[in-house]
Amino acid sequence: MSRRSGGFVVLEGIEGAGKSTQLERLGRRLAATGTEIVRTREPGGTEAGEQIRGLLLDPGFGDVAPETELLMIFAARAEHLHQVIRPALQRGAWVLSDRFTDASFAYQGAGRGLAMERIEALETWLQGDLRPDLVLVFDVPVEVGLGRALARGKRDRIESEDIAFFERAREAYRTRARCDPERYRLIDGTPDPETVEAAVARAWSDWLENRAG
C-alpha cells in the first residue's frame, strides 16, 4: 500500500496506563502542523466495532471462550481497517489509535493463554504487511493502573480480571517493545501527565529522526 505522507501510530498499555490522555495530547500537537489527524480506538472506531466493544466490555456478557473473544476483536479490527485506517493512510493522514493488534497479543495471548502463533496467523491474514509505524507502550505497575481505572468508576468486564492477568499482559507489552526497538518506544506512564507528555515528545523526536535517516 503506497502512502504520500503521515503514518500509523498506536498507543498501547494496560488499563490506567494513560494512553488515552496522551493520544489526545499527541493529536493536538500533530494537528498544529496542519496535517490531517484521525483519532480512533480498538475495539471500536466504526459503528460495528463500537457495538462489539460494548458487548466485550459489558460485565453481563459473561465468561465467553478466549477464542470467541479473540475472533470478535479481529472482526471489529477488520471493519476498522477497511473503513478507517487504510483509507486514512492512503490520504496521507496520521492515524492515532488507542490500541491495535499488540493488545491482542497481550490480552488474549499472554492474558488468556491463547497461542501466539494463532494470533500471528490472524494478523497476517487480516493486515497483510500493514503494521504500525510506531507503537508507544505506556508502562505502569499493575496496581497503579488498576487503581486509576477504579477511580474512574464502575469496572468493565476486562478491568474485572485479576492482577495476574494484567501482570501477564504488561510483561507481554514490555517483551514486544524490547524485541523491536526500531518500531516501539517504552514510556514510563507512572508520573503526572505533563511529565509523560514530555517523554512522548522525546520519543517522537527520536523516532522521526531515525525515520528520516
Residue 3 confidence (pLDDT) above 60: no
Please report the sign of the dihedral spanned by the C-alpha atoms of residue 176, residue 183, residue 137, residue 106: negative
Distance in angstroms (rounded) separating the CA atoms of residues 125 and 33: 35
Which residues does 122 contact at the CB level (< 8 Å), separation at least 6?
70, 74, 104
Q: Annotation-wise, does 189 bind a ligand?
A: no
Q: Annotation-wise, does 17 bind a ligand?
A: yes
Q: Annotation-wise, does 14 bind a ligand?
A: yes
pLDDT digits (tens, 9 = 90+) for 8-47: 999 999 999 999 999 999 999 999 989 899 999 999 999 9
Going from N- to C-terminal start, the domains of the chain cover: 7-212
Task: Give the CATH H-level superfamily of domain 7-212.
Answer: P-loop containing nucleotide triphosphate hydrolases (3.40.50.300)
pLDDT digits (tens, 9 = 90+) for 37-73: 999 999 999 999 999 999 999 999 888 999 999 999 9
Q: Annotation-wise, does 6 bind a ligand?
A: no
Q: Annotation-wise, does 15 bind a ligand?
A: yes
